[in-house]
Amino acid sequence: MAESALRNVTLGQILDETVQKYPDNDAVIYVDRDFRLTWSQFGELVDDLAKGLMAMGIKKGEKVAVWANNVPYWVALQFATAKIGAVLLTVNTHYRTHELEYLLNNSESENLVIIGEYRDHDYLSTTYELIPELRTQERGNLRCPKFPHLRRVFFLGAEKHRGMYSMPEVMGMSAMVDDDEYAARQDSLDPHDVVNMQYTSGTTGFPKGVQLTHYNVGNNGYWIGRNMNYSADDRLCLTVPLFHCFGCVLGVMACVNHGTAMVILEDFDPMQVMIAVEEERCTSLYGVPTMFIAILQHKAFDKFDFSSLRTGIMAGSPCPVEVMKQVIDQMHMPEITICYGLTEASPVMSQTLIGDSMKHMTESVGPPMPEIEVRVVDPETGKECAPGEQGEVCCRGYNVMKGYYNNPEATKAAIDGDNWLHSGDLGVMDEDGYLSITGRLKDMIIRGGENIYPREIEEFLYTMPGVQDVQVAGVPSGRFGEEVGAFIILEEGQDIQPEDVKDYCRGKIARYKIPKYVAMMEAYPMTASGKIQKYKLREMAGEMFPDA
């Protein structure tokens, strides 16, 4: 395929083109509050927000950290920051004080945008706890020793809070930036500028900021939608978090590239999904396998009409054959696709195709995406594996990240001298070029689609008094694929119970990272050279935790 298949444009230019083509078509819809914007209205909202952020003093290259679930302003902020050359830094909604503090410092973020609360967590209280200066200092001129780069805090809504700007206040400032100044800012942007930063555990160490460009995510979104035959007649029910690539690239960017309407849910709820699909006649639906299972098993499933559906994406973990059959037959999704990738690949490197066999849809993650090379290599020699041989999955192409923020060593470890991105996942390529994922080189735990790096939790648990040593490993789970297990050696004379460990974690690290299983150990299984054998801990977990 010719190089011209890749578009050298910014996210703002992609949006403007769609607004011009389909001004009166639905763009963003929230069924639960009768919130509906056409592409023309959405474009105006984005421009007002962008100009307001410029008026506030946000410069090209500044980071704007967004700590929020899928609220209506989220997608507008994604494009408003892109249009003024700022970097949208997505923050996991499950983060707590320990993780937010790390992210703000590591990213050197100048701006933070929050909501009031999410589920059982009060974001406002956490923010004031970490940044007490908000209560006393002038807005927009924040000086905080703990976060020396932070200058502004915004509330992603209409309410006013001490030290923060509300969204109506931001948009009210838009009149201070004229059209020429706004156009000049956009003209200064390059498609290869960083537009999005997401924190991921990567292959080693603590979470790192993955820098993605307009070119990365704009083109990836285009091809994801193209592989599902998206058009302006399609309507996506978007149930997955926007802070993940699954939401903001596979979802938002696929839709904006093709003029597809976004029917967004703030959070996944099977009943709300079924209502949205039926009322809005959605043609596409996204989720991880557990989400589709929750819908299929809901007691009200038979009362809803799914006949409008045809396609969608299932990702995050393999789909059982019986579930796939039910999704195709009972949810009317014969053209559903499977995607595979990682944040560093912006994120999709392979996707099954409409018309693929049941075997390909349940045992593979599809062939490489157009314009992306994917190969399987021997981890020891780097030599490409023959079809059917297991090795590390690598990719090369427009989708490879610009690098980890302020971390050239980690970038060099992930992207080799020939520009191949090493995934850390093990896989097999068949004779037809279809990729199957078979395991992991790294210690990563994947719980229900969330990547968890054991070392991060280990370092945190080392701070607990009485803990001498700790190893964290994945414990197999029928529901989530894996759960977090902590294997702890206590200091002499200490009496710590598993529930004490969980209590120590609560409120400090994200709930999904809190070990579900805790075992007190006398020693760890070791190799002859003294290396801890984590795979044996995983095997032992089956006997220690029979309910897993």
Which domains, ranges and CATH numbers included, belong to the chain?
15-23+34-189 (3.40.50.12780), 445-544 (3.30.300.30)
The token pair at 468 is 């001498």
Q: Are 153 and 164 in contact (CB under 8 A)?
A: yes
Per-residue model confidence (pLDDT) at position 525: 84
Secondary-structure breakdown of the chain: helix, strand, coil percentages, each rounded to the nearest 5: 35, 25, 40
Q: Residue 125 and residue 112: Cα distance in Å, rounded?
A: 14
pLDDT per position in the chain (548 positions), as tens? Answer: 333 589 999 999 999 999 999 999 999 999 999 899 999 999 999 999 999 999 999 999 999 999 999 999 999 999 999 999 999 999 999 899 999 999 999 999 999 999 999 999 999 999 999 999 999 999 988 999 999 999 999 999 999 999 999 999 999 999 999 999 999 999 999 999 999 999 986 444 578 999 999 999 999 999 999 999 999 999 999 999 999 999 999 999 999 999 999 999 999 999 999 999 999 999 999 998 889 988 998 999 999 999 999 999 998 777 778 889 999 999 999 999 999 999 999 999 999 999 999 999 988 999 999 999 999 999 878 999 999 998 999 999 999 999 999 999 999 999 999 999 999 888 999 999 999 987 777 677 888 888 787 878 987 998 899 998 888 988 988 888 889 999 998 988 999 999 999 999 999 999 999 999 999 998 888 754 455 777 788 888 877 887 76
CA 120, 125, 129, 131 torsion-angle sign: positive
Amino acid at 55: A
Is residue 471 exposed (0-12), middle (13-18) or buried (19+ Cβ within 10 Å)?
Answer: buried
Q: What pLDDT is recorded for position 205?
A: 56
pLDDT of residue 531: 54
Q: What are phi and psi of 180, to 5 degrees?
A: -65, -45
Radius of gyration from C-alpha coordinates of the chain: 23
Sequence-ordered list of residues with C-beta below 8 angstroms from that of 156, at least 6 positions apart, any chain = 66, 68, 71, 73, 74, 77, 113, 114, 115, 167
Find out whether 225 and 262 touch, Cβ atoms under 8 Å: no
**Helix boundaries (H) for 97-141:** 97-107, 123-130
Instruction: Report the Cα 155 to chain-centroid distance in Å.
Output: 21
Q: Which tokens in the block code for residue 45?
A: 């909202």
If you write DSSP's letter for every residue of 165-187 in order, what string do you get?
EEHHHHHHGGGGS-HHHHHHHHH
Predicted model pTM: 0.85
Residues 6+ away with beta carbon under 8 Å from 379: 391, 392, 441
Which pLDDT does position 538 carry in this prediction?
Answer: 80
DSSP reduced 3-state for 52: helix
